């Protein structure tokens, strides 16, 4: 079964840092670009970041550029999102997503809450 | 950044009836458009990519059309699981962008 499982979410104070992880299984992880998408409570989906299958290129939403860093370990089938200088508006469920023609496989999400 | 605008925001439909959802891009995106359905408390699910290609295991009651800046998702004979929020997404330019969503509710 193709699966993505996120971890690392939690409560963090404004200005703090957090690292999210996403473990992929049931498919050849190194063949796919991977994305992070977030959804604030009651709001629409928002693209956060993406990385190519070999990790050579990364893309970011303007709202997180310079604060978040996406990376991957193909040997561990794991995607990461290093988040720093967190703001209350970063509060959301963060989804890990596989790319294959579109966002074809989604994890269940991990919740990040930025609050004092 | 390409802005995606979905209409209507809410659509009230009776079970068994059809629904037509619209999505407009602020500039041409060719056919680089996907549709997703999100049920409450769940992750989104891919329905359509390339504007009109159904994803794996998506039933034929879902169809997509359009190119350039105007796109449509048509659902015939709505089932209970179809009452949800639908998002369009462009993947022609970075950053990828989503529309604000259309909620399909039971009339």
**Which among A25, A8, A24 is positioned nearest to A81, based on CA atoms?**
A8
With an 8 Å Cβ cutoff, are A60 and B95 in contact? yes
Residues on chain A touching B98 (C-beta within 8 angstroms): 44-47
Tell me: cis bond preceding B73? Omega within 30 of 0 counts.
Answer: no
Using a CB–CB cutoff of 8 Å, tell me whether A1 touches chain B: no
Question: pLDDT by residue (tens digit) across A5-57?
Answer: 999 999 999 999 999 999 999 999 999 999 999 999 999 999 999 999 999 99
Residues belonging to chain A: 116
What is the distance in angstroms between the Cα of B101 and the nearest Cα belonging to chain A? 6
CB distance B90 to B29 below 8 Å: yes
Contact B72, B19 (CB under 8 A): no
Cβ-based contacts of A62 with chain B (< 8 Å): 1, 95
Q: Which residue among B42, B46, B53 sits closest to A103, beta carbon to beta carbon?
A: B46
| pLDDT tens digit sequence for B67-103 | 999 999 999 999 999 999 999 999 999 999 999 999 9
pLDDT one-digit tens code per residue, A49-81? 999 999 999 999 999 999 999 999 999 999 999
Residue A57, CA distances (Å) to A64, A73, B57 in order: 16, 14, 31
Instruction: Write down the pLDDT at residue A18.
Output: 98
Match 């159904």 to its residue by tokens: B54
How far lies A75's CA from each of A29, A30, A62, A102, B25, in Å?
A: 9, 8, 30, 24, 38
Q: What is the mean pLDDT of chain A?
A: 98
- Is A50 an 8 Å CB contact of chain B? yes
A103 shares contact with chain B (CB less than 8 Å): yes
Cβ separation B96–A46 shorter than 8 A = no
- Round the average pLDDT of chain B to a whole number and report it: 97
**Per-residue pLDDT band at A111 (split at 50, 70, 90):** very high
Tens digits of per-residue pLDDT, B20-71? 999 999 999 999 999 999 999 999 999 999 999 999 999 999 999 999 999 9
């Amino acid at each position: 079964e193709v699966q993505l499982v996120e971890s690392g979410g939690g409560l963090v104070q404004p200005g703090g840092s957090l690292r999210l992880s996403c473990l992929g299984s049931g498919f050849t992880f190194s063949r796919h670009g991977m994305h992070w998408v977030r959804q604030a409570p009651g709001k629409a989906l928002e693209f956060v970041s993406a990385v190519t299958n070999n990790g050579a290129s990364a893309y970011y939403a303007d709202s997180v550029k310079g604060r978040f860093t996406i990376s991957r370990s193909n040997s561990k089938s794991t995607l990461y999102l290093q988040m720093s200088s967190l703001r209350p508006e970063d509060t959301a469920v963060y989804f890990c997503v596989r790319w294959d023609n579109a966002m074809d496989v989604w994890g269940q999400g991990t919740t990040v809450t930025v609050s004092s | 950044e390409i802005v995606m605008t979905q209409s209507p925001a809410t659509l009230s439909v009776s079970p068994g009836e059809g629904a037509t959802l619209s999505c407009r891009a602020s500039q041409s995106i060719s056919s680089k458009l996907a549709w997703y359905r999100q049920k409450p408390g769940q992750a989104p699910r891919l329905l359509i990519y390339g504007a009109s290609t159904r994803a794996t295991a998506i039933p034929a009651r879902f169809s997509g059309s359009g190119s350039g800046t105007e796109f449509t998702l048509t659902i015939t004979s709505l089932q209970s699981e179809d009452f949800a929020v639908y998002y369009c997404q462009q993947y022609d330019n970075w950053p990828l962008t989503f529309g604000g969503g259309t909620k399909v509710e039971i009339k």
